[in-house]
Structure formats: C-alpha cells, structure tokens
Amino acid sequence: MQKIIDIIGKEVREAFEAKGYDTKYGVVTLSNRPDLCQYQCNGALAAAKAYKKAPLAIAEEVAQILKMSESFEKIEAAAPGFINIILKNEFLSGYVKQLSPENQFGCEKTQAPKTIVIDYGGANVAKPLHVGHLRPAIIGESIKRIDRFLGHNVIGDVHLGDWGLQIGLIMMKIKLEQPDLVYFQADYQGEYPSEAPFTISELEQIYPAASAYSKENEEFREAAKAATVELQNGNPGYRALWQHILNVSIEDLKKNYDNLLVDFDLWKKESDAQGYIPGMVEYLKQNNYARISEGALVVDVKEETDTKEMPPCMILKSDGGTLYNTTDLATMVERMELFNPDEILYVVDKRQELYFETVFRCAKKTVLVPEETKLTFLGFGTMNGKDGKPFKTRDGGVMRLENLIQNISNAVLDKILENRDMDRKDAEAIAKKVGLAALKYGDLSNQASKDYIFDLERFISFEGNTGPYLLYTIVRIKSIIQKYGKELAAADALQPGKTQSEVDLMLEAAKFNEVIEAAGNEYAPHKICQYLYGLANAFNSFYHENKILAEEDKEKQKSWISLITLIKGILETGIDLLGFEAPERM
C-alpha cells in the first residue's frame, strides 16, 4: 500500500511540473509546525536559486494548482517560501480505512527480498549471561523481526564462543578436581558417559576459579593451553567433555534467552568455522593476498585515503595459532557457502568498530566475501548506572542478566500489588510481561549507538515514554472493546474525523508504514519506539476528549470503535517488532 506521504508528494511534484519547475523540488515532509499544518513542502526555497525567482512567488504558483485537489482542505503559501498542507478529513479517513492486519497496516512487503544473516547475542559457553549481553540480544532480535516484517529472509545466529583458551582452562580445572574421569584417560576405549560430570551452576563456578588459578600458576596455564590445542586437534576424551560443556551451557542459555523473548535460528559456534580455516589460509597464500610479517601471516588492509592508523589483519600468529580474526573470516566463508547472503549484519559493542573494519576490509580485499555482499557493523553503546559508569551490582560486580530481569519484574510486581487487589499468581504473570516491556523499551527507545542510563524507577513507570505506558494503553483499548460487547465495527464504519483529537489519531495511524520502512532501512528500533509513544499519546488524548462507551450516536460510536480497534492492532504489531507483548489486563 502506498504511503500517504508519497500520495501527497506525487500531487505536489505534479503541481511543480505543471508550473514548469523540476519535480525534484516537490518533496513533502511532516510539518515541523503541527500547530500550523500537517505536512509541508520547502522545495520553493531551493527552486528559487535555480530559477532566479522569489521563493514565495514559486510557492504561491504551486499552491494555486494544489488548491484544486480533492485531497487537501487547506493549501497555504507562507513566507519565505513554504507550502503548508492540511488534508481533507474525508481523504485521511479514506486512507486509514484501507489499513488492516491483512495488509500489515499499509506496510507492504518488499518486492526485492534479501537474505540477511544477523550475528547477535555474543554469548560464551560455560559463562552466565550478564547485563553486557542485554543490548546485542534485544537490538538484534528487534532488527530481525523488523526485517522479516518487511519481507526479507533473515537468519539470526547467536554465534557462541566455544573454542578458545577458556575451554582448556575449564577442562584442566575439572581434571585437577576429578582426575579419575574417563575423559582424561589416554587409553580409554569405551563409550563416554551421556551425563555431564557437572551441573550448570557448577560449570559457572569452574571457569572463574580456573581463570584465577591460571594467573597464579604458570604450569596450570600451560597445561590449559596444551589441552586447548589437543581439543582442537581432535582428542576424543576432550571432545566428549567439550560436548558436555556445550550441551549444559546451551540448555541454560536457551532458557535465559527465552525469558527475554529472544530466539535464534542458528546456534552456530566458533568451532563450526574451524574446518574452513585450512582451505582459507591456503587460498590467501596462493593468491598472494597474505604475507609474512615477523613470522605471522597477515593481510594488509590500509588504504591510501586512510587518515588513521590501520593495522594489518593477522590471519595466523607466528606460532601458527589462529585468532578471532581467523575465526571471524572463516565464519564469513561458511556463511557465504551455506546461505549466500546479501548482507551480514553484526550487532556488537561499538568499541569493536576498528576490529570489524579491519576484518571487513580483509574479507572484501581478498574476495572471501564478494563486493556485492554488504557487511554491516551496528555498534551499540553502553548501559550505564545513574553514576554514568557501566552498570554494576551494589557490590561493584557484573550483574547476571537473569537477576536483572527478575529485579525489574519484582519492582513491577510490588507496584501492581501496591495499587490493586489481585491474585498474586496473576500479578506475577502480568509483572513478567510488564517488566520485560520496561526493560526492552528502556533500552530500544535509545539510538543503538548511544550510551544510556538504566533508571529502574523511570523504566517501570506507567506514565511517560515507557514500555508499561504502551502496555497500559493497549490494555485500556482492549477493555473498551470488551465493554462495547457488540460485534466489532468493520473498517467501513470509520467516518471522517470531527474533532482535532480524532484527526490527530488518524494522522498517527497513517504514518505506520513510513516509520517501519525507515526503521528497517536504518537499523533503528528507536524510531518505532518514538512512533508508538506518539500514537499512544494521540489515543489517550482522543480517549479523554470522547466518551466512547457513553456516546449516544451509534454510527459515531461504531466509527470510534473501528478506529481504536485499528490503533490496538498497530500498537500490538509495533511492540511485537520491539520484542515484547501486552497482557490482557493490568
């Protein structure tokens, strides 16, 4: 369905053309003075230079043509050369009538669907998720949902860290404590146990203990390095133990991501790329893309236009060992082979920008990734405490993500029970949904690249620019529709708006497709947050000005029910794209 701004823009461009001006000047935007008009065109200001004519004179000429249109209630040329536009209520309601869940509220699926791999999550096996894992998970999840809504084939990959020294440290710590386990017996020939020799709680204690011990015991650290190499070379006992670490970790990670309503299509791991490394290294050598520098194999990625230092991309260390660079490049090779994507998008801490620029340049320069495949780095900022520093627990530690989720749910639960007489189990179920909305909206309402302050009290407020406010608005609409009790009014029942609040609400509904398209193109969930907040405000203004259930004019009442049913659908679709859902009541 064509965007309303494009329909208006077409008429304005045709008016410019009719008066002998280039159509490029007929660009229409939302008004930055909504007290004066709904839309505006500033093209006469630019046209004035090209045609050596007063901008107001051009605006007046174009306005004369537009005044004959059936779409516009008021067209005004204003100094120094603006064209102010107010739509006819019949035109606006006619457009809004066409919006429905069946046509995604006017948001067409793309005619040129792309295959996009989104790398987000960033979890490591054997380590619990902490607050640092929040942003990549929820930003990546929202972008995945938006792109799918727009019709793209999107593949979300958690891409677990499972292949480095951390595994060697864990295995050697287990060996230190349980040396008789069969995994450490070189001559063992039988089946390895199907049950892991540890629980997730025990596993999460093993790694920090092993890491701390390695710093004070050089012999232990060297044994861990050797064990890592043996694992990578296929030691069967170590491989069996490593598989236990994976299984136990992934089961726990899935549970925690489920609590965030984050879902991955692929649970790929660093280790999955290992088989691609030998062939990739040989390819880089044979095609003279790589050179030896102080014993290491590197690819030069510096360009003549660079104004900053750009280090070479190291492929192999001087001892022949691999690095993150190696694994990430091999993962790209794997993704090209498996999916042939049009784009690979990485949702990663913005402090890694230089690293990813180096790897991307290497991938393109060596044609591991073809030129037409887009490699995108979406760097996110830090979630900070009220002191402006990275968010910590009260004792200065890094908070586990599950504890953060529970804390915010508990705070919402206290608020609900404080203000309402409700069964505790029901209240807990509601608090879980509202808490998640508070957490996700509090994050996503900020531009991804910006740092933001985690403010629990503000995030869980039922007023203002918050997730709970959106949910409260949806629940309010559900309650009205339920009390209305009759068969829901069809879209055809919608009448032209009679009051300013009704017209404003229709104007907000008409923007949905434009906002979603922009959010998808710009990887910008915050644009959806801004829009939903504006839509909720417009609804609540309308609600306070009009007694919907007490209205005696039944045709008008039907029209209002039709309108608010549409608004509910748009709000519910919007929060789904952000990755949370509304309860039935609050």
- Angle between helix axes 424-444 and 467-484 (nearest 10 degrees) is 130
Q: Is residue 95 part of a domain?
A: no
Structure confidence at residue 574 (pLDDT): 98
**Is there a single domain that holds both residue 205 and residue 229?**
yes
CA distances from 354 to 127, 308, 360, 375 (A): 26, 10, 10, 14
pLDDT of 175 strictly over 70: yes
CATH code of residue 35: 3.30.1360.70
pLDDT tens-place string over residues 496-511: 999 999 999 999 999 9
pLDDT band at residue 485 under the 50/70/90 scheme = confident
531-570 pLDDT per residue, tens: 999 999 999 999 999 999 999 999 999 999 999 999 999 9
Domain shared by 254 and 329, yes or no: no
User: Does residue 250 share a domain with residue 174?
Assistant: yes
pLDDT, mean over the chain: 95
Residues 498 and 408 reside in one and the same domain: yes
Residue 146 domain-assigned (yes or no): no
Q: How many CA atoms lie within 13 A of 578 on its CB side?
A: 34
Residue 537 falls inside a structural domain: yes
Decide which of 44, 71, 87 is a domain's last residue.
Answer: 87
For 25-72, the DSSP string reads G--EEE-S-TTT-SEEE-HHHHHHHHHTS-HHHHHHHHHHHHTT-SSE
- Answer with the one of 234, 259, 284 that is the final residue of a domain: 259
Binned at pLDDT 50, 70 and 90, residue 419 comes out as confident
Quote the pTM value. Answer: 0.94
Together in a domain, 410 and 372: no
Residue 511 lies in a domain: yes
pLDDT-based confidence at residue 491 (cuts at 50, 70, 90): low
Asked whether residue 233 falls in the same domain as residue 292, the answer is no
Q: Are residues 223 and 282 in the same domain?
A: no
60: in domain: yes
pLDDT of 27 strictly over 90: yes
Q: 175 in a domain, yes or no?
A: yes
Domain termination residue (choose one: 53, 87, 121): 87
Residues 234 and 335 in one domain: no
Q: Which residues make beta-bridge pairs with 349? A: 380
Confidence of residue 488 (pLDDT cuts 50, 70, 90): low
Tally of structural domains, the chain: 4
279 and 250 assigned to the same domain: no
Residue range 457-485: mean pLDDT, rounded: 95
Query: Which candidate, 526, 533, 531, places its Cα nearest to that of 445?
Result: 526
Backbone angles phi, psi at 50, to 5 degrees: -70, -35
Average pLDDT over residues 173-177: 96
The domain in which residue 310 lies consists of 269-380
**The pLDDT of residue 105 is above 80:** yes
Same domain? For 457 and 550 the reply is: yes
Q: Could you tell me the CATH number of the domain that includes residue 496?
A: 1.10.730.10
How large is the C-alpha radius of gyration of the chain?
A: 29
Q: How many CB atoms lie within 10 A of CB 126?
A: 24
Predicted confidence (pLDDT) per residue in 319-370, tens digit: 888 889 999 999 999 999 999 999 999 999 999 999 999 999 999 999 999 9
Note the pLDDT of residue 571.
Answer: 98
SS3 316: strand
Same domain, 301 and 328: yes
pLDDT beyond 70 at 152: yes
- Amino acid at site 51: Y
Asked, for residue 572, whether it belongs to a domain, the answer is yes
Per-residue pLDDT of 356-385, as tens digits, reads 999 999 999 999 999 999 999 999 999 998
SS3 label, residue 336? helix
Q: Is residue 545 part of a domain?
A: yes
What does the pLDDT look like over 220-264, one tens digit per residue? 999 999 999 899 889 999 999 999 999 999 999 999 999 999 999
- Segments in 445-466 forming alpha helices (H): 456-459
Residues 433 and 532 grouped into a single domain: yes
